[in-house]
Structure 1
């Protein structure tokens, strides 16, 4: 292969990921809006949103052994194709007046489950497609993160406009088509050589549980990975509380301008996209630990602190943009570290467990933020979140184990990471 052909699989995966995440972002808004406008019930809207996201998160954690045996490429294609069928059925049944709430919940749950599998499979394909195109791992992780951030940002930005112009059912149909397009892109452009070797043994219930346990055990016994997972779980909890509760309450109390919510979200999203692109460009040339430390320190605490101290939108937008830069620069480094340290045969089950662990606290964040506001007020809650954020990000990056982020691991013959003493003994 010559010219741009070696990088075609990686480029195809990036475009497919952007397209799939774009659809995910749009459906996360358009389907609940369809329920709200059809029933007038916020409770039913929340029920459908839960029905879609709960299976998505569950299959991220539980789908690894299936991906190992079916193959990441095939799971990605079949998962997105199945999501396209389920999502496209919603506007079709709605137009025929054959869409009761139970049927909508089942279709949303089915789409969420297969997309959870497909998204986990997409992560597994990143190192292989990058290797085929000789793309450095930090750059590949940064570009993949940029595709995710851009899809989320564009989807959130255009969904409201499209719903107003075309109606929620038509937007849901567009969502379904986007999943089908993502499936076609990977089917056509990503070869089977990009995925780890499949496991051939049968998947009994006992073996399935053992495979899941192997992924969890790998995380638990790797000190660097354990520190990263703990930090991400806490910061995701805090992020959800800030974005879902604290920022809206701040906007209502300090500005009384509902459109400011969209502006702040846009500043965060734009910063995250630019941060991910900068990380993709400069990542291979910079020490990971220093960039990671700088990113986590500007991504969390400053926004809460500034919101507590000011009621001015321009200042909030500037800090939100900087926080987005930090957030966008983190994921490429994290993903590069994970891709390096997780053996190929464990990637599906381990990455799924990692993502589920990182999201486990997100439902608690809004509850914590709301409870604290009622107990101590908005200003004090913002200070409290800033303090917790600072501790949750500053303490882990000071741990000695974080120095291991700067180097690729030495692996034993069985794929597990060797201790430093073993490496020294081997070299002498």
Structure 2
């Protein structure tokens, strides 16, 4: 039971769970729609064109604008406020997503037009995802929820979306066709916009300008408020001085590239060549997502007791290479599902543990810009993942690419763990969260082996 203490102007006080619930709900519906689309769109392109290269090209055209827009949206999120950015970009995403099945129904959907529409979706989805993440620490403060637990709950929300979304997407594509999945995606974005715009309390998610100075005078605010490029430069300078965050970003950037190729090209091609079809993609994603939820819940409850470095690298060991290798082995479906279940459980620990460290290291007033830069750097390889993987499959076939991807994943995560700055991950656990965490904010990097 929670106590909702009204503050001035009727804004729920810091003991209300309404803000955190609202933010997590908006994240849940928009991420679920994205996961549905992640099954429907590649399958649509693959079955209509028969080309793994074109399937990868569609992923490239969606994710390149996503990364670029997210990189430069941080200062604007800080200035305009994450709430406004979130509901408006979700509404724009819904419009662009709905245009794909509309033009297809009217027989007007050429391949170049499809590339333009998915590029628009990516360009507006990036700032929207960033804005929701930015609101998590404020929502946690208002609810009196420890930031480690809030990070864990956000991870659970992502994993739940990764469980429900592929199952719904696979079922819809198998029964009603891929266009139905894209209609659901548009509806989810519209619902996410409604949740942010209506359900969150007034005063939630306003601009963070002036928070660092601690002054209320208009003259002082005008004198000290930085411009866009100054804010952008401040975020870059902060990130450049954080060796641990930079190491995390490089490692996660490589694994994100490999995951993108796996999800957008390798799984659809495997499902088609093996005869299992789109339903298998949904089933595999849902099994992995369900066990990831379990891992995320354990991390959310026990994150403050865990040895972060050991848990982090063990999670990557389970979540990465085994998925590639089991598909390359030609194992029966039961074995494939078992491996995906173990991988999902390991992946569930990654973002809650990493998020807790990042909460401790980034100042609250710099949240948008640092988060945007770090996310964009970590996601920079994702647009290339599908493109490179599609070309590789077309050149040498599915099995060699799966084996090479698994080996690259294993080497990346294990070699990165040898660097000395990872010791700071465990040392951060000993800080006094009661004094330091209210001044900190969530960091930049996102792992998504199930995205």
Instruction: Tell me, yes or no, whether TM beats 0.5.
Output: yes
Matches within 5 A, 1:93-112: 105-112=115-122
TM-score (norm 1): 0.80
Question: Within 2, Cα distance between the matches of 1:154 and 1:71?
Answer: 30
- Deviation of the 1:416 alpha carbon: 10
Contact 1:196 1:345 in 2 (8 A): no
1:182: which partner in 2? 192
- After TM superposition, the structure 1 = structure 2 runs for residues 109-120 of structure 1, keeping only pairs within 5 Å, are 109-120=119-130
> Displacement, 1:277?
2.2
- Of 350-359 and 281-290, more deviation after overlay is shown by 281-290
Residues 1:84 and 2:104 aligned together: no
Residue 32 of structure 2 corresponds to which residue in structure 1?
22
Say if 2:270 and 2:398, in contact at 8 Å, map to a contact too: no
Which of 43, 51, 65 is the equivalent residue of 1:55?
65
In 2, Cα distance between equivalents of 1:164 and 1:123: 33
| Corresponding position: 1:330 with 2:350 | yes
Matches of 1:373 and 1:382 in 2, distance apart? 13
Q: Which moved more, 1:307-316 or 1:318-327?
A: 307-316
| Stretch of structure 1 that moved more, 43-52 or 229-238 | 43-52
Q: CA deviation at 1:34?
A: 6.3
- Measure the CA separation in 1 of the matches of 2:166 and 2:256: 19
Alignment partners' CA distance in 2, 1:97 and 1:250: 29
Aligned length: 409
Aligned residue for 2:375? 355
1:234 aligns with 2:254: yes
* Range 336-345 or range 115-124, more displaced: 336-345
**SS of equivalent to 1:155:** helix
- Higher mean displacement: 346-355 or 45-54: 45-54
1:83–1:179 Cα contact (<8 Å) kept: yes
Instruction: Indicate which of 408, 424, 431 corresponds to 1:404.
Output: 424
Q: What's the CA shift string for 1:129-166, capped at 9, x where partnerless?
A: 11111222222112112212222332222124334555
Distance 1:396 1:335 in 2: 18
- Residue equivalent to 1:158: 168
Kept in 2, the 8 Å contact 1:73–1:192? The answer is no
Q: Confirm or deny: 8 A CA contact 2:63 2:383 kept in the other structure.
A: no
TM-score normalised according to structure 2 size: 0.76
Distance 1:396 1:93, change over 3 A: closer
Deviation at 1:357, TM superposition (A): 1.4
For the 8 Å contact 1:48–1:108, the answer to whether it is kept is yes
Contact 1:120 1:351 (8 Å CA) reproduced: yes
Greater RCO (CA < 8 Å, at least 6 residues apart):
2
Instruction: Check 1:166–1:390 CA distance in 2 against 1; reply closer, same or farther (3 A cut).
Output: closer
SS of corresponding position for 1:321: helix
Pairwise mapping of residues 101-140 of structure 1 onto structure 2 (< 5 A)? 105-140=115-150
Asked whether 1:280 is paired with 2:300, we answer yes
Residue 69 to residue 400, structure 1, CA distance change in 2 (3 Å)? same
Name the Cα RMSD after superposition: 3.9
Instruction: Name structure 1 gaps, 5 residues minimum.
Output: 418-428
SS at match of 2:358: helix
* 1:72-108 superposed Cα distances (whole Å, 9 cap, x missing partner): 1111111112222333345455556666666655444
Q: CA deviation at 1:126?
A: 0.8
1:115-138, Cα deviation, whole Å (9 max, x unpaired): 211101011011111111122222
Q: 2 CA distance for matches of 1:234 and 1:44?
A: 22
